[in-house]
Structure 1
Amino acid sequence: MSLYFDNNNLFDAEGHLTDEGLYALKDGTLDDLGALEAAEHLSFCDYCLLRYTAMIEAAPEVMKQPMRDLIPQVQNLMRLRSFRIMTNRYVSAAAAVVLGFVLWGAVSTFGVPNPAMLTPQQPTAPRERFGTKVSTAVSGFYKSLDDTFKNFTLTAESGLDQIRTQSIGGSTAKGD
């Protein structure tokens, strides 16, 4: 025995939906093609639409009510999505700042040649070695990157704690 309604019995000889077809549509026992045909027919046939509406209105009040309240679930989803949007913005901003510091460090480390520096001069003081400059720039970059990720993690954990607190507070208030 098939779970689905037989599509051959969906319409009567006059081209209207049969009562069994309307009940199958209401109960959800039509396959995809049958549901599509019935929905299309209801979109232009006022007679069948009135019969279908009367059948739904005749249902007990319990059947007309939603199975559960969806407002808290939708609100939690909205909070989560807004949190993700905000964190994505902060991550993009942090990446731009890090890239700016890297470029700034590269220019300050390698610099633009100064024509006065190209002429031979008397050595006055020992200059810092290139390897030391690179090491200092790289360690500074990694320290700032580590600080940025620590701040981001703290912000994300704080936001998640707020969402958890609101969802726990909402469920206990509803249970009272």
Structure 2
Amino acid sequence: MELFLENGHLTDEALQASLQGTLDEMGRLEVAEHLSFCDTCLVRYTALLEDDVLLTPAQPLAQSVMDRVRRRVVHVFFNRYAAVAAAVVLAVTFWSTGLFRNIATIPIRESQPPTSYSETVHEVKMPAAARVNAFFRNASDAFSHNIASLFD
């Protein structure tokens, strides 16, 4: 059986044999390679495929797919807004308890020896990042001290 015409395109027999699966391995490779770059033969091949009967599912899928999409949208919506709501609740809680006021001014000790106790601790303006770092460092130290005192 001839696979190609004189002009280089696939014969109708080759296309039919490819659809039926009666070509040998070398013939299948040649037809597949030719279809990968020849648009004319590819159009003819897909026209032959259009005659096939499409199978219909036993149950319609549209409703189940739409139900899954709706559930996914609701899930994503509530997850995003739940995270935002939790962040707002934490921010309001920290703000109302005065946690942010404590971060604004953090007492630090001078490097020179103090002359009196009143000079030992004073408020210093610090950048916000330094205040946050100092707050968490102090909180960590206090937590470690409290945990250590439990085991003493």
**How high is the TM-score relative to the length of structure 1?**
0.40
More contact order relative to length (CA 8 Å, sep ≥ 6): 1
- Computing the radius of gyration from Cα coordinates, the structure with the larger value is 2
Decide which structure has greater strand share: 2
Q: Greater share of helix residues, 1 or 2?
A: 1
Query: If the length of structure 2 is used for normalisation, what is the TM-score?
Result: 0.45
